[in-house]
Structure 1
Amino acid sequence: MRDPLRLIVVIIIIATTWLGTLTHFARAEDKMDSQTQIDNQTHPYIGMWVTADGRIRHELLPNGRYDEARGTRKSAYQGRYVVTGNHIDYWDDTGFTADGDFIDGVLHHAGMILYREN
């Protein structure tokens, strides 16, 4: 009798995790869709952001799009972004979502630290 109960518990945990992930994606997509292709964004973060070693280069464009280069691979990732205060949400053209925060003039994104390029 314990084995069926364990199976039910595992199924509930997996379903809950899966639904939570879908909810996160849906919220990110809704936020991005409501602000798609915003022309002439006025936040102070437009421009090039680069890791200390120069390997990752993030260009935040004024039209709400971004272009990320990795190593020698130009335009490795492209998509939309929305800045709310000091927080940034990304929606990659392939459907991947990510976010980050600007803290003391530095972009903290996906475990990376990017600095504004002068």
Structure 2
Amino acid sequence: MARRPRSYRAARSSVVSTVAAAAMALLTACDGGRGADPTPTPATAPPTSAPNADRRPEQSMHDGAAGVLVVMGALVMQTDGGAAAGELRISDGVFVDGRPAGDAAVVDAGGAHAVPLMVESALAERPDAQRAIYDLRPGNPATFAVIRRPVSESQIRRMLVVDPDDLVAVYVGGHLEAWEGAPTRTAGDDLIDPAAEARWVGTWEDPGRGLQQHLTAEGRYSETRGGRANAYTGRYWVRDERITYLDDSGFWAFGEMLDGTLHHAGFVMTRE
């Protein structure tokens, strides 16, 4: 969902409260009501230079899946909570060491945080040799978010939810999935592929926590929590083993499919 730009400093307190409330609701199987459904605006093509907290530059499409991309100036976070300022260099969808060969698109992410997209329950299912795959390091898939606000280790590992105003970008395997809080693709376009539809569409259930997540072929989802239908509704996009959600109440969230099990925000779901 795209929103009108606003000062990060002026909005910080209300944004943090909004995200904290959404996080608490997601961790509770029987939660309170949703906010009003927004009217999404069309996604805009991303610029060659990403904004700082208070500016939006001109537009030009690029990503790091088929070409080369350098994300500069971000505080790069790892799954163990470590962080250091530096560049992320991406070529053909993976992080690389040194400057990629060829002409690189550059994202200026000064002041933002580059954050791994992982779910702790999926991490726990991987063998020890694979558990470093989520870190933003050379050789790993370029799957991460660039976020304006600080992000804690607990949020990275357990449940990352992001207000659209705080979201600079989401990359999955180097593909740009969201820019400036808005999706880069129409929901459902990725499900035209019969293999993707067969893999994702249906009802996913975590019976121990009273959750059913219904994924439709139109790229919409709804959740039944504790028997209450449509507790959360929104749009979703899939790529490889990753799913990216944009809730109608106004937050982004993330999940991963591993060995036929869908992991999201502490929920471990199998398809009915």
2:255 and 2:148 map into 1 onto residues whose CA distance is 23
Contact 1:52 1:115 in 2 (8 A): no
Give the number of equivalent residue pairs. Answer: 103
**Equivalent of 1:36 in 187, 191, 209:** 187
**Equivalent of 1:23 in 168, 183, 190:** 168
Q: CA RMSD in A?
A: 2.7
Deviation readout 1:32-84 (Å, 9 max, x if unpaired): 34223538543111000000326000010000000111012100011000010
1:110 and 1:57 map into 2 onto residues whose CA distance is 13
Deviation readout 1:3-51 (Å, 9 max, x if unpaired): xxxxxxxxxxxx7567244325863843x34223538543111000000
Percent identity over the alignment? Answer: 35
Partner of 1:73: 228
- Which structure has the highest helix share of the two? 1
For residues 37-56 of structure 1, what are the structure 2 equivalents within 5 Å? 37-38=188-189, 41=192, 42=194, 43=196, 44-53=199-208, 55-56=210-211
**TM-score of the aligned structures, taking structure 1 as reference length:** 0.73
AA in 2 matched with 1:27: W
Q: Which runs of 5+ in 2 are unaligned?
A: 1-110, 114-146, 150-165, 171-177
**TM-score of the aligned structures, taking structure 2 as reference length:** 0.34
For residues 1-118 of structure 1, what are the structure 2 equivalents within 5 Å? 16=112, 19-20=148-149, 21-24=166-169, 27=179, 29-30=181-182, 32-38=183-189, 41=192, 42=194, 43=196, 44-53=199-208, 55-117=210-272
- Which structure has the highest strand share of the two? 1
Q: Which runs of 5+ in 1 are unaligned?
A: 1-14
